[in-house]
Structure 1
Amino acid sequence: MRRYIPVQTVEGRASRQAHADLPADTYEREMGKEGFFGPAAHLYHANPPTAWTSWEGPLKPRAFDLNRIERAARTPWDATTFLHNAHCKMRFWRFGGAMDHLVRNADGDELIFLHAGQADLYCDFGHLAIVAGDYVVLPRGTMWRIETDGPIEALLIEATNSTYMLPEKGLVGPHAIFDPAMLDTPRLNAAFDAQRQGPEAGVEWRVKIRRLGEISTVTYPFNPLDAVGWKGDLAPVRINVKDIRPLMSDRYHLPPSAHTTFVANRFVVCTFAPRPFESDPGALKVPFFHNNDDYDEVLFYHAGDFFSRDNIDAGMVTFHPCGFTHGPHPKALKNAFTQKKTATDEYAVMVDTRDPLQVGDLPAGVENPDYHRSWTPKDQTAEAAE
């Protein structure tokens, strides 16, 4: 059991309850450990902690428009890697048609988040029809391929040398956020039977296996997706973001950790889904300013109105490296305690990694080099330009 240095004190003007009833004309900043799970301090500032006028050095927040990745890839192994470290790889995959080969990830579990389109996924365990908003967890070693009638876009998140698991849900119980009974598994149905090809068909099938980043190809004189049955407690699973029921509090803005969907070794995947805004007049109704002192934070924006960000659209990614304070953009900050709508309507996928992420080799125009300026008040931006 960890034994943090115990501190419980109040100095100057401070709120007794975090994220609510802030002292007049102050801006709360949370400085915490272990990504909202450890000890924390709340500091109350006279000015927004993100109202900087310039930024130098590699730590600056970054944004990527994945819609500008135009290249389609016939195999997920050629999908564009945009962020990665030793434990997590994030790729963006555009594809359309039918894969003429199978793939198997021997480096770790694969999480597919289908951002746009629909497809049929075939794997060792059977067939799944998948649609936009679906998460599909593929255990390490699963053989799979997809077929589509039109273009698809998918976020691929590899748990390198690791396993996806469900988070501990503590006091709210195992059926909160989503009941495990909502997890669908592949079926050995008519669609799966129709794709079988035995040796008599005279068709070769290739399996492209990735291990330590390198591809090996195994060729069969038949389609190796030929299972006639399976059992056990290991299989691919699927759930759609619309089936996720986020935790809510009328009187307290919950931290992102409350929305954890999957956990892996040294990173977590969270889902932001529509929910009512906090109703208590004194409760914050936007994300609070906080330090990223233990985790790199990545947000993939799937659909809706992203209420805490300006000029961010579906298919974009923000990357906030560990080590600086961030929070809502100035426009969103104006609605910190009063919202025009009664509920959020955004869907977004968040990946928090315990280890620093590296930016992949991206095509020109994908990164917005001025994203770090989006926190600067407009009057200060104009002065800096002069």
Structure 2
Amino acid sequence: MSNARYIGLPRIEGQSSRQAHADLPEGTFERELGKEGFFGPASHMYHTHPPTGWLSWEGPLRPRAFDLAALKRTQQMVWNADPILHNAHVKFRMWRIDRSMDYLARNADGDELLFIHRGKGDLYCDYGHMSVEKGDYILLPRSTMWRLEVEEPMAVLLIESTDGSLRTPDRGLVGRHALYDEAILETPRIDEAFKAQQDERQWCVQIKRREEVSIVTYPFNPLDAVGWHGDLVPVRLNVRDIRPLSSHRYHLPPSAHTTWVGHRFVVCTFVPRPFETDPAAIKVPFFHNNDDYDEVVFYHDGNFFSRDNIHPGTVSLHPCGFTHGPHPKALQRMYEMPAAETNEYAVMIDARDALEIGSAAKSVELESYAESWRTSDRLVAQRAKLAR
């Protein structure tokens, strides 16, 4: 099998581990400086203090967090969903809906990825019908007509690949069946429920293009297909069906958990997995610089072991330009965990271009988040003792 690159021989200076994320020199904290989101060249620094041990933070560039659970407003119209984060290639919105859509939606600006944070119901689209529930990703190709019938009030993340497509990642050495077998992806069916919703009454289609909405009215339900064939189709994937990569001797980077790939951004999913068992391997996310990407994490469910005082519905933004890693309390468990595996579900977006903060996110910002990373001298002493 050919390789696109030759063997690299990194230089080593001073006290250093020869294996990233394991066998750290006694009393040190590792920090990764890398390019291209863990795929490019990288170096590892070994510090005597935690790299997030700052005293204060000033200026617009800082770690930020937003409590989306505090956004209680429901919106019947999907295009009125609360804006959270965005750039030219990806839009991240929060949508709460408590009754069924009496119209059809159509996004002409790009593929749309729906993530069902809470609730359940039924999706009807050009291709047919399928049930949806908590933990579902639903990938809707650009310009698909669709609507939701609500069985339980729903909180939905909307991730738009603006002027682009969403694809599955290259599985590389682990092969195409790793993470999840594509046979597990569900597609809409032209079933009895889909046929039953076809009628001759008046329906409106709300089409979004360049952030403006046009309305097309039909004297019948345009979801009237009797059949289709092809390979452009919405798909559904539940987080429970993801089988994460893991290593008992090495803490894998977030890129190992990539679920969808857009243009200049990726969507990753963190699901329960075993902790590393090698005594020399760190068992928390390693400190690293966001040298090329803005990192967004939406905390969906469970106990988020690498963060403190974070609850489901919170979203964090770690913009390019500073170091982050495990919160101080998580750092105390750097080599020993109280359980055999993680118990968390989260959605991460890594965006290659700087993200702007939407008005809804600003209204629920947790202002003290940057300060929550400060590490006490006592923790530094505990870490040095543990290393010995």
TM range (shorter): over 0.9
Q: Which residue of 1 aligns with 2:40?
A: 38
Other structure's SS at 1:294 match: coil
Q: Which residue of 1 aligns with 2:148?
A: 146
Q: CA deviation at 1:141?
A: 0.7
Of 160, 167, 173, the residue aligned with 2:169 is 167
User: What does 1:98-117 correspond to in 2, within 5 Å?
Assistant: 98-117=100-119
Q: Which residue of 2 aligns with 1:48?
A: 50
Q: Which residue of 2 aligns with 1:383?
A: none
State the alpha-carbon separation in 1 of the partners of residues 377 and 22 from structure 2: 29
Q: Which residue of 1 aligns with 2:209?
A: 211
1:123 and 1:225 in contact (8 A); partners too = yes
1:68 and 1:365 in contact (8 A); partners too = no
Q: Which residue of 1 aligns with 2:238?
A: 240
Q: Which residue of 1 aligns with 2:80?
A: 78
State the alpha-carbon separation in 2 of the partners of residues 7 and 78 from structure 1: 52
Runs (5+) with no aligned partner, structure 2: 379-388
State the alpha-carbon separation in 2 of the partners of residues 372 and 115 from structure 1: 26
State the alpha-carbon separation in 2 of the partners of residues 249 and 377 from structure 1: 28
Q: Which residue of 2 aligns with 1:180?
A: 182
Q: Does 1:300 align with 2:298?
A: yes
**Partner AA of 2:65 in structure 1:** A
Q: Which residue of 2 aligns with 1:384?
A: none
State the alpha-carbon separation in 1 of the partners of residues 285 and 218 from structure 2: 52
Q: CA deviation at 1:34?
A: 0.1
Alignment TM-score, normalising by the size of structure 2: 0.94
2:83 and 2:361 in contact (8 A); partners too = no
Of 368, 371, 375, the residue aligned with 1:373 is 371
Q: CA deviation at 1:150?
A: 2.5
Q: CA deviation at 1:3?
A: 8.9
State the alpha-carbon separation in 2 of the partners of residues 97 and 49 from structure 1: 47
Q: Which residue of 2 aligns with 1:289?
A: 287
Q: Which residue of 1 aligns with 2:23?
A: 21
Count the aligned residue pairs: 375
Instruction: State the identity %.
Output: 61
Q: CA deviation at 1:365?
A: 4.9
Alignment TM-score, normalising by the size of structure 1: 0.95
**Partner AA of 1:233 in structure 2:** D
State the alpha-carbon separation in 2 of the partners of residues 341 and 378 from structure 1: 25
Runs of 4+ in 1 over 2 A off after TM superposition: 1-4, 377-380
Q: CA deviation at 1:149?
A: 2.3
1:125 and 1:227 in contact (8 A); partners too = yes
1:332-364, CA deviations, whole angstroms, 9 ceiling, x for partnerless residues? 000011101110010000000000000001277
Runs (5+) with no aligned partner, structure 1: 381-386
State the alpha-carbon separation in 2 of the partners of residues 221 and 61 from structure 1: 51
Other structure's SS at 1:373 match: helix
Q: Which residue of 1 aligns with 2:11?
A: 9
